[in-house]
Amino acid sequence: MSGDRPTQPPRQDDRREEAREPVPTQAVLLEPRPLRPALLAGTRIGVRTFAEMALAMVPAYFAALLLEKLGVIDVLSDWAEPVMGVMGLPGSAALPLVLACLLNIYAAIGAMQALPLSGEQITVLAIVILISHNLIVEGAVVHKAGMNGVFFSLLRLAAGLTAGIIVNLLFGILS
């Protein structure tokens, strides 16, 4: 025993290593879940979502086309031109904005497709719509939560229009 090293008490780190459970040397195989039920469920959800979006977008698209053919969009455009022009948008872009404020984003997208808008105009209009969409329903929800729904809706509309003006100015500076 003369060549043996003196034994030292175990260090704190050594005690932790001894307390660990041993790692299994063989991997545990799990049964794979069948792929078909997941694909069917995903397909059902996707088709349902597509149908909901189509129910909003397709009628709005055709309504916008009909209003354009009847000349209503021209009248609306003349009336809305000053406000929409500040955001770099034609007056006809008021239709998707009104649809978004009163109905939902999908109706606005359907109406936007019927209008000849540039990429910059679509971007500005999309930002305004994303901020100030579905004001009636969301205003009612806010009112039910104890806030002033009308004030909140007007605030969102003002914020959307302000954001549209700012983005239009940025496009003017950057181009």
In a domain, 6, yes or no: no
In a domain, 11, yes or no: no
Q: Which tens digits make up the pLDDT trace of 31-63?
A: 667 788 888 888 999 999 888 878 777 787 787
In a domain, 8, yes or no: no
129 or 66, which is more confident: 129
Q: Which residues contact 77 (CB under 8 A, 6 or more apart)?
A: 90, 91, 92, 94
Q: Which tens digits make up the pLDDT trace of 94-106?
A: 989 988 888 888 8
Q: Which amino acid is at 19?
A: A
In a domain, 20, yes or no: no
Per the structure, the count of domains in the chain is 1
Domain range for 135 is: 38-174
Task: State the residue for tokens 């003017």.
Answer: 172
Q: Which residues contact 125 (CB under 8 A, 6 or more apart)?
A: 87, 89, 93, 96, 97, 112, 117, 164
- CB of 140 within 8 A of CB of 119? no
- CB of 140 within 8 A of CB of 105? no
Distance (Å, rounded) from C-alpha 113 to C-alpha 97? 13
In a domain, 81, yes or no: yes
In a domain, 98, yes or no: yes
In a domain, 99, yes or no: yes
Distance (Å, rounded) from C-alpha 96 to C-alpha 60? 9
Distance (Å, rounded) from C-alpha 133 to C-alpha 138? 9
Q: What angle do CA 158, 118, 59 make, to 5 degrees?
A: 75
pLDDT of residue 151: 94
Q: Which residues contact 80 (CB under 8 A, 6 or more apart)?
A: 91, 93, 94
pLDDT of residue 88: 94
Look up the pTM and report it: 0.64
